[in-house]
Amino acid sequence: MKQLEGKNVLITGGSTGIGRATAIRFADEGANVAINYHSSETEAEITLEETQDACSIIREKGCREMLVQGNVANEEDVKRIFREILTAWGRLDVLINNAGIQTANPTHEMAMDAYDRVLAVNLRGAFLCAREAIRHFLDRGGGGIILNNTSVHETIPKPQYAPYAASKAGLGALSRTLALEYAGKGIRVNTVAPGAIITPINREWTDDPEKKAVVEGHIPMGRGGKPEEIAAVFAFLASDEAAYITGQTIYVDGGLTLYPDFRTPWSSGS
């Protein structure tokens, strides 16, 4: 079933990992996909290469796609990203705020620019894109869809990753607020909260068999998730099957949010 036939979709940070899998899934569902990527000096080559890979796969499936470069944390870039899409396609139906970064440091050693960078991409960036999408949805009428990629750390604390946890909790609150603010205008806003997914953001443990075993030992289902398993939930939430769902977070985490330490009862009771 082609659930998203003809829908125009923007995916931020769409050139790698979950964004890339989502771009491919949406194209497979018949959507036209605008892939936002950000070429920083450090990741330019990898991002460009993986963007081109993603695009060539989408092209094989026979739908329109476009690349839109830009830093989601930059207001002028975000306005330009939307201008480019609307000039090319005339309308946008779905925004997926997927771009995200993290940085690890004990909080007492955390530099403010590291904190600010994470908040700027994960929260300010999502806000800027959502605001631009809402302006367009209101202008053209007929509603629209905003999907946000948070994390299990929308609720689970993450020591040494304070800005990441704060940004994802903030993004959850932003999603629910926008959902309530615009429900009457036909704009649905929902959130997908992935657990530990095998993507570049997690190279530190996915590429190390010992660390991977430790991480997977904490997951009730015993394995890291696949980017495609997150993409499937974005596709569902963007489809008419989810027409009555707004303001919700769906955790896609192999059971990580089920308090895994309680797998074995702590007391025998009597």
Instruction: List interacting residues with ligand NAD (CB under 6 A).
Output: 12-13, 15-19, 36, 38, 43, 47, 71-73, 98-101, 121, 125, 149, 151, 194, 196-197, 199-202
C-beta closer to ligand NAD: residue 6 or 217: 217
Least distance in Å: CB of 12 to ligand NAD?
5
CA distances in angstroms from 76 to 68, 71, 125, 245, listed in the order given: 13, 9, 11, 32
Shortest Cβ 140–ligand NAD spacing (Å) = 25
Q: Min. distance of Cβ 228 from ligand NAD in angstroms? A: 12
- Smaller CB distance to ligand NAD: residue 101 or 237? 101
Q: Which residues contact 232 (CB under 8 A, 6 or more apart)?
A: 25
By CB atoms closer than 10 A (0-12, 13-18, 19+), residue 40 is: exposed
C-alpha 207/C-alpha 221 separation (Å) is: 20
Nearest-CA neighbor of 224 among 205, 238, 245?
205
> What's 197's DSSP letter?
B
Q: Which amino acid is at 206?
A: T
Residue closer to ligand NAD, measured from CB, 85 or 196: 196
Q: Specify the residue, 40 or 264, whose C-beta has the smaller distance to ligand NAD.
A: 40
The closest alpha carbon to 219, from 198, 237, 200, 233, belongs to 198
Looking at 37, 115, 161, 164, which residue is catalytic? 164
Least distance to ligand NAD from the beta carbon of 11, Å?
Answer: 10
Q: For this structure, is 182 an active site residue?
A: no
Catalytic residues: 164
